[in-house]
Structure 1
Amino acid sequence: MAYFEIDDQAIDPFAVSQVIDVIPVHTTIGDSAEVVRTAKVTCREPRLDDVFIAFMDDVVEQLGTADAVSILVESAASWRNLLRIARFGLSDSAAMGLFGELKFLESLFDAHGPLAVDFWQREPQSVHDFIGDAVRVEVKSSTFQNQQAVQIHGLRQLEIPVDADLVLAVADIEKHGGGQTLDNLVDSLLDRGADMATLTAKLKGAGFVRGMSADDSSPSFAIRGWRFWEINAQSPVLNSSAVGTEITDAVTNLQYSLNLAALGESVSQFDWHRFTTSADH
């Protein structure tokens, strides 16, 4: 739990996604006998203590920019959806998809070190998962039970950039394959030097916060291999170029299943240095 001095600021008790409670209380702080008015912040579920700590870190970072009550209320609003997800956990498919992206990021570390994090989700609204100087990569995850197809979201996900190559990277993943949880993988990236603030912000953008998969019931995954395809104008995919701008702007929430066999033979190796090397066009 945590306490924030609020003096005479008005605040009513409230809860955030049935995970965190905030209530005004009078208490003493430290060795002082003086009773002060505070906002008491507690976590309802011990298994989400790491998530609670991340929430508290976000609040503490903002102290000094506004009064404590305003910061708590605004942080609660921005974290509400994420805390709801934390309470129930990511779906297996969402967790597996994020695992594939983080394993790709882990491989990027071998070539680029901690700067590799900058290539992932370069902007909050980036269409492609990884963006480099000469290549963009869309990462998909498949299970051993369904290696034939992947789900494509929208008409822009496989749109070929005008200034870079586009690669579709498919991670073949086995669930409970004696592998890692998402938290294990994130901790590994941090141990290798990933900037905590940058990685945490990008994970939040992906709907994940450290501690969400820390309990024993969380799924673990293992990569069994990678398959890579270069996507070009001849690739049999549905994208903006195929249907035109008018249809692209008119169609929303489009999702389709792409038969990977239609793309031809894949390759199992990728040149990780392409992210900082000018491509020949």
Structure 2
Amino acid sequence: MNLRIDILTLQLFVAIVEEQSIAKAAEKKHIAVSAVSRRISDMEEMLQVELLYRHSKGIEPTSAGYALLEHARIVLGNLAHLETELVGYRQGTRGHIRLFVNRSAILESLAQELGEFLVLHPLVRVDLEESISPEIIQAVTENRADLGIFGGNILAPDLQVFPYRQDRLVAIVPRDHALAARAKVRFADLVDQEFISLEKGSSIDTLCVKAAAELGRQLKLRIRVSGFDALFRIVEARMGVGVVPMEITHGRFDPGSLVAVPLDEPWAQRTLVLAVRNRASLPPATRLLVEHLLAAEAK
């Protein structure tokens, strides 16, 4: 038997049982009595079973009718729950956000701001992936990420880009290094040092390589690392110097071993940006997160 029972007919059947009257159910649903009767008759004919007893005191379900009533209420309840969930997705109270970010953003401000957002929207799920700037741009462009946060010195011509945060780059040197006592340092003072660099293509690596090239030099790259903690440990072991954002240095190394010296370069004031394919067409939850992050930046 191929059953085809539409939602309105189930709603009418439940209303008839609850009101014990076809006329009252029709009035409640704003449908003609004859149309309601016809729907119930068609359903009984399709199911080949009687669903309702009609007597002088009104209408009550048969045993088959009670079975249908139980399942109809389950189906209608599930549909109501589904509607509530879908409304949540439309309004942004539910959703799934794919977020690609660089390590600086996570350590500087994003973790706290994302936590605040999820307190406000506990039914939103976020997949957070850490990567370097070019890979973040590619992920957003290819729709593998809904939004990305990366260094603003890396161009993303196919994306909509918004300023997210500013940070200040500093040189990390051992406490007994010749540059450690300086109030600030030019990049020209670093370019001849053994250099500990972050991942190739990352925002900071790109800035340092470009700065060296503008001085007509090449970085004396000794070790390339994938994280700031590794960079601190290697510099602490006196294998070279490095460049990191000032904001991520607080409490991350022993000040008796390492010193952060501000870089005296225009490009050392770095902008992190937030990028999307098209802000106007973002899913509601993603749009809410973008608004939350940009509002936090404006404070």
The interval holding the TM-score normalised by the smaller chain is under 0.3
TM-score, L = length of structure 1: 0.21
Bigger radius of gyration, 1 or 2? 2
TM-score, L = length of structure 2: 0.20
**Higher helix content, 1 or 2:** 2
